Chain A
Amino acid sequence: QLQLQESGPGLVKPSETLSLTCTVSGGSVRSSSYAWGWIRQPPGKGLEWIGNIFYSGSNYYNPSLKSRVTISVDTSENQFSLRLNSVTAADTAVYFCAGRNSGSGRTDHWGQGTLVTVSS
């Protein structure tokens, strides 16, 4: 059973870079069966798709975040990561990592989510 777990700092200062890691267990980030992605949810608000990456290296990002986002895969640690530059208070949110069946909209593997607060 595929399991995902987010990790990273819970507090980031404005203008700095938010960095989160998602550790995958019960499966491999090298699998072509999945697209690995990040979704966020500001407190009390809805879900926002951030982007995803395939093991092949192809990645796709939300146009509204594209200039600040990088998603990468670390096969040696069986992890994938999110970097979001130049953060502001508007980036305060619960960040979820997720695995989607490639070639489908089926995203049934989610991490529990981690709250990241942007504040000085």
Chain B
Amino acid sequence: QSALTQPASVSGSPGQSITISCTGTSSDVGGYNYVSWYQQHPGNAPKLMIYDVNNRPSGVPDRFSGSKSGNTASLTISGLQPEDEADYYCNSYTTSSTWVFGGGTKVTVL
């Protein structure tokens, strides 16, 4: 299975909005509403930010939102904060009953 495609890096100034894309195929992202997003700071385990396309766990700020259109899922951070600087990974279920991650996106707060 091939990794989902994410941009290597995205940047924005504090208070701005940024969007990270995650492109797959009809066998993964496009075929199921099981796309999740994880935030990872250096040296830490990933933290769940969005699950099942657009659901936010309790404790995750509402400036994080998710969506999906066709074979592409997106994570939007509205009102970017310095603490949002991290790596972000998307993850999707596949037709093989397996899961696949994206290559990761480094978010830089300017």
Q: Is B31 among interface residues, defined by CB-CB distance under 8 A?
A: no
Query: How many residues of B are in contact with the other chain, CB < 8 A?
Result: 28
**Interface stretch of the complex, out of A21-29, A59-67, A71-79:** A59-67
Q: How long is the Cα–Cα vector from A24 to B91 in the complex, in angstroms?
A: 23
Please state if B51 and A105 are interface contacts (CB–CB under 8 Å).
yes
| B96 in contact with A111 (CB, 8 Å) | no
Evaluate contact between B1 and A107: CB separation under 8 angstroms.
Answer: no
The answer to whether B57 touches A108, judged by C-beta atoms less than 8 angstroms apart, is: yes
Interface flag for B18 (CB, 8 Å): no
Q: Are B3 and A105 in contact (CB under 8 A)?
A: no
User: Is B1 in contact with A96, judged by CB distance below 8 angstroms?
Assistant: no
Name the one of A49, A51, A63 contacting B101, with C-beta atoms under 8 angstroms.
Answer: A49
Closest Cβ of chain A to B42, distance in Å, is 10
| New A-B contacts (10) at CB < 8 Å, excluding given A46-B104, A63-B98 | A47-B89, A49-B99, A63-B96, A105-B34, A105-B52, A106-B36, A106-B48, A106-B52, A110-B45, A110-B47
Tell whether A112 is near chain B: CB-to-CB under 8 Å: yes
List B residues at the A interface (Cβ < 8 Å): 1, 3, 34-36, 38, 40, 45-48, 51-52, 55, 57, 89, 91-93, 96-104
Q: Interface residues, chain A, CB within 8 Å of chain B?
A: 37, 39, 46-49, 51-52, 60-64, 96, 104-108, 110-113
A106, B57: Cβ atoms closer than 8 Å: yes
B92 touches A46 (CB 8 A): no
Q: How far is the CA of A49 from the CA of B93 in the complex (A)?
A: 11
Q: Of A37, A46, A63, A107, which is within 8 A of B103 by CB?
A: A46
With A104-B34, A108-B57 known to touch, is A46 a contact of B98 (CB < 8 Å)? Answer: no
A58 to B80, CA, bound (A): 41
**CB contact under 8 A between A111 and B51, given known A63-B1, A63-B96, A106-B36:** no
